Every structure is written in C-alpha cells, then in structure tokens.
Chain A
Amino acid sequence: MNIKILAFGIAKDIFGGTSVNLELANDATVYNLKYLLEQQYPRLKQLASYMVAVNNEYALPGDNLHERDEIAIIPPVSGG
C-alpha cells in the first residue's frame, strides 16, 4: 500500500517537504514505518525522539497501518 506521511517541525526539514509518500506492506506496523523512514532519512535517528500519530492519536510500535489512515511524524513537541 502507498501511504502519505505528514511532517511537522524539524521533520519537514528532514523530509524536505510537508509530506512524503512511502510504499509499505499491507500489514505494516508503526515499527516497520519508522524502520523504513530511518533508512531513507537517517537524520530522524538524531532526534531526541519522535512519535508516529495515526488518525490524530499517538500510535504504538505494534499498531497496524492502513492505506486511508492519516499518518504523521511527531518530532519532540515544544508548544506553550
């Protein structure tokens, strides 16, 4: 499946845009996504941490992804 991943904050700089598209296996998990992204964008590994959000909720590494999910990379937040 082809998924679109939204990027915010420093993730936008790392991806070079506000989103990237990635081809993933149909049963892919958040863990699989992070692994693939880190292969393509090694600078992700230099971040203090980052989370993946699925449909506006923080996701766990074992959560499955689906083609129509809204997926976003959440680098360390710094609001307030």
Chain B
Amino acid sequence: MTPGQLSAAAKSFNFLKGNHGSDKMNSLNTNIQIFPFPLNIQSSVDWIMSPESGGIDVFIGTVRNQTKGKKVIKLEFEAYEPMAIAEMQKIAEQAFEKWPVQKVLVHHRTGVLEVGDVPVVIAVSAAHRAAAFDACRFIIDTLKQTVPIWKKEIFEDGEVWVAAHP
C-alpha cells in the first residue's frame, strides 16, 4: 500500500470516528469503536464493503420493549472503554484466525437508549457468505460473554443491572 492510500484510509477512519468515538485499536481491516451517540448503520455498511467481498453479514442489535413480560422503558449502557475496546479487538482477531473473513466492524453504544434504538452493530465481509455468517454470530455471542459493557433495564417501577444476580 502506498503512503497516499494509507492516508486515504486514515481519513476514512477519522470520518467514521466523528468527534467522540474511541478507536485506539484499529487497523485497516478492523473497525472497533464505542460511541455515546446513535450508531450509523449505513456508514458501517459502507466501510465493510470491498471489491474483494462476495458478501457481508450485518448484525444489528435493537432495544426490545419487554423482558420476561415486563415492560422496558429504556436501557442504559455503560462501558469500561479501554478494556472493552481491547476485548472487542481480541474477538475480531479470533474471527480472523477462525474464518477467512476480510473486514470486521464492531460498534457499540453507551448511554441511554429507548425501544427500537440500536446498541450494537457488527459487520463482517468475506469472499463467501458462510464465513461472514459464522464469524458475525461468533462475534456477537462472544461479545455478550466477555466485553466489559453493562446494561441497566429501566422499568416503570424500578431498574436492574442485567445478569448481575443469579
């Protein structure tokens, strides 16, 4: 890659980054960020597309209106940002080791989200669809187990940190 191409790639990262996203851990084929404002699904798709890709798989998490039959008013997400970025980067690296994928994007929200808002976008590109599907599922499943991000459910009559108690 020429210095000019590198510079163009860096500019596209800065465009995606906006003013608040943290992106200390990105390379040319991974884009891992945490945002305190709404995620841009279209710019995620634009970033993941490449001429070498035969397919992209996008997972969009959304805030559901109830949990176990109880009405949810809103959710609040909190992240231990430097560690969350590092853990998401590890998951992306594992995806690259396990499947022939080309690019991986993981964007996660913090802050207060209402029903229908998008807390997470995961996008994977690959030459063939099977790798993109498998890697995308692996990334969201593993993220939910290891990445230090916490969700508080806020109901009409109280609030609870999800999964905190047995």
Contact = CB atoms under 8 A, between A and B. Distances in A.
Given A8-B80, A9-B164, A77 B86 contact: no
SS of A interface (majority): loop
A79 B83 contact: no
A75 B164 contact: yes
B101 interface: no
Among A46, A58, A80, the one with the most B-chain Cβ atoms within 10 Å of its Cβ is A80
Interface in B131-166: 140, 143-152, 161-166
A9 B77 CA distance: 9
B143 A78 contact: no
B114 interface: no
Contacts of B163: 48, 76-78
A3 interface: no
A77 B165 contact: no
A72 B149 CA distance: 13
B82 A77 contact: no
Given A10-B164, A47-B164, A77 B150 contact: yes
A53 interface: yes
Interface size class of B (residues with CB under 8 A): 20 to 34
B149 A79 contact: yes
B13 to A, nearest CB: 21
A79 B164 contact: no
B150 A80 contact: no
Interface residues of A, number: 20
A79 B144 CA distance: 5
Contacts of B166: 48
Contacts of B74: none
Interface string A3-16: 00010111001000
Contact of B82 (A56, A75, A79): A56
The 10 A-B residue pairs with the shortest CB-CB distance in the complex, in nearest-first order: A79-B149, A9-B150, A78-B162, A10-B161, A56-B83, A10-B164, A76-B163, A80-B144, A78-B151, A78-B163
24 contacts: A6-B80, A8-B78, A9-B78, A9-B161, A10-B150, A46-B165, A47-B165, A48-B164, A48-B165, A48-B166, A56-B86, A57-B86, A58-B146, A72-B83, A72-B148, A75-B164, A77-B148, A78-B144, A78-B149, A78-B150, A79-B108, A79-B119, A79-B143, A80-B149
